[in-house]
């Protein structure tokens, strides 16, 4: 009797699987459709011994550290693009999370770098933090034919504003939502359907499908395999190599949990204006705290990468 399909193979049949890594070997092993990176993952990839000589070369030929950072991100993104058939996500500096114009300039520059390497903009998702300023930048980029991935998304408010702006994809952070609630209620049962991060993504997914929004929902930041399994059927899920390996080693059945709705409602609604968006975020302590913390954490790793590239330039 043939062995049943592993859960990773079953998941790929209903959800686009994305590798949450800059590790080229992991991408080769798990063969995801897309890949997504962030400053933390780029830092991990940059610290690999085999990359040092090439990083030093990029750093020395860059005009400044910001130029070197983007050169490294596009270098790694270009390698990944040869291994996946779909999107590669590349992040705009978290330092620009509250500056719409600077985000636009940096995003266009990243796209130009990819295009000089022969990689079309249709293959790239520009990752931007889902701040008010980031969402406004994404709206303009989409008008220019540059696809965007709105990251550090923790609330329904952010998700609705992104849908209003017509962004290509959002990355709601499942595990970090769970972290926040576990820190405040350490004795509570947050397993399975009780996981607040899972609940958040399900609400967003059902709302998008029920109202005909085209924005793709990609669950991210998973703490355990159960969260992934609870969101099977979601448009996309971006998963770390460790959890991809767990899924690949499990041959139990994986039932579908999320499915698109039937007929979508098309009732119009007024998009958030800036004051409404900021007020709704202010009312949501978890989303406000995790968004700020996420930007700080990405910047911590970006500063480490800047220091590394600064050393290599000399």
Residue 265 has pLDDT above 80, yes or no: no
At 216, phi and psi to the nearest 5? -80, 140
Q: Which residues contact 23 (CB under 8 A, 6 or more apart)?
A: 44, 45, 241
Q: Which of 130, 141, 62, 136 is nearest to 108 (CA)?
A: 141
In sequence order, what E strands does 154-244 have?
169-172, 216-219, 236-239
Mean pLDDT of 256-268: 77
Q: What distance in Å separates the CA atoms of residue 225 and residue 242, rounded to the nearest whole number?
A: 10
Count CA atoms within 13 Å of residue 286 on its CB side: 21
252: region left, alpha or beta (phi > 0 left; psi from -120 to 50 alpha): beta
Q: In the 8-state DSSP scheme, what is residue 244?
A: H
Q: What distance in Å separates the CA atoms of residue 238 and residue 184, rounded to the nearest whole number?
A: 26
pLDDT tens by residue, 269-291? 789 999 999 999 999 999 999 99
pLDDT value for 211: 92
pLDDT tens by residue, 62-110? 999 999 999 999 999 999 999 999 999 999 999 999 999 999 999 999 9
Q: What distance in Å separates the CA atoms of residue 95 and residue 68, rounded to the nearest whole number?
A: 15
pLDDT value for 174: 98
Q: Which of 126, 133, 172, 166 is nearest to 149 (CA)?
A: 126
Structure tokens, 303: 């500063």
Residue 263 has pLDDT above 60, yes or no: yes
The model's confidence at residue 314, banded by pLDDT at 50, 70 and 90, is: confident
For the chain, how many residues are written?
314
- Topology (CATH level 3) of domain 14-309: TIM Barrel (3.20.20)
Segment holding 20, helix H or strand E:
strand 16-20
pLDDT value for 313: 81
Counting other chains too, the contacts that 47-53 makes at CB distance below 8 Å and 24 or more residues apart are 47/308, 52/312
pLDDT value for 238: 96
Residue 1 has pLDDT above 60, yes or no: no
At 178, phi and psi to the nearest 5? -60, -45
Longest alpha-carbon distance in the chain: 62
Q: What distance in Å separates the CA atoms of residue 239 and residue 201, rounded to the nearest whole number?
A: 15
DSSP string, 103-151: HHHHHHHHHHHHHHTT--GGGEEEEEE-SHHHHHHHHHHHHTT-EEEEE
Residue from 7, 127, 209, 290 carrying the catalytic annotation: 127
Q: How far is CA 185 from CA 153, 179, 180, 196, 234, in A?
A: 22, 10, 9, 12, 28
Active site residue 209: no
- CA 303 from chain centre, in angstroms, equals 20
Q: What distance in Å separates the CA atoms of residue 223 and residue 54, rounded to the nearest whole number?
A: 33
Q: What distance in Å separates the CA atoms of residue 103 and residue 136, rounded to the nearest whole number?
A: 10
Segment holding 18, helix H or strand E:
strand 16-20
Q: For the chain, what percent of residues have pLDDT higher than 70?
A: 97
């Amino acid at each position: 009797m043939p062995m049943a399909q592993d859960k990773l193979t079953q998941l790929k049949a209903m959800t686009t699987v994305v590798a949450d890594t800059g590790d080229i070997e992991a991408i080769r092993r798990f063969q995801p459709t897309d890949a997504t990176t962030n400053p933390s993952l780029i830092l991990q990839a940059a610290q690999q011994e085999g990359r040092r000589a090439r990083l030093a070369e990029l750093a020395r030929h860059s005009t400044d550290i910001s130029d070197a950072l983007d050169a490294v991100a596009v270098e790694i993104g270009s390698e990944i693009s040869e291994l996946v058939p779909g999107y590669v996500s590349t992040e705009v500096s978290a330092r620009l999370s509250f500056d719409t114009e600077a985000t636009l300039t940096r995003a266009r520059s990243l796209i130009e770098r990819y295009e000089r390497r022969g990689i079309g903009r249709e293959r790239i998702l520009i990752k931007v933090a889902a701040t008010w300023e980031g969402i406004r930048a994404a709206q303009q980029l989409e008008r220019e034919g540059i696809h965007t991935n709105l990251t550090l998304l923790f609330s329904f408010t952010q998700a609705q504003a992104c849908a209003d702006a017509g962004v290509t994809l959002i990355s709601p952070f499942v595990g970090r939502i769970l972290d926040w609630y576990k820190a405040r209620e350490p004795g509570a049962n947050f397993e399975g359907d009780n996981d607040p991060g899972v609940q958040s993504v399900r609400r967003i997914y059902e709302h998008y499908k029920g109202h005909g929004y085209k924005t793709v929902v990609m669950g991210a930041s998973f703490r355990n395999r159960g969260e992934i399994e609870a969101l099977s059927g979601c448009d996309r899920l971006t998963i770390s190599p460790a959890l991809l390996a767990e899924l690949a080693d499990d041959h139990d059945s994986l039932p579908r949990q999320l499915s698109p709705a039937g007929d979508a409602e098309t009732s119009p609604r007024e998009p958030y204006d800036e004051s409404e968006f900021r007020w709704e975020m202010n009312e949501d302590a978890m989303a406000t705290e995790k968004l700020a913390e996420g930007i700080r954490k990405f910047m911590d790793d970006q500063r480490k990468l800047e220091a590394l590239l600064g050393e290599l330039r000399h």
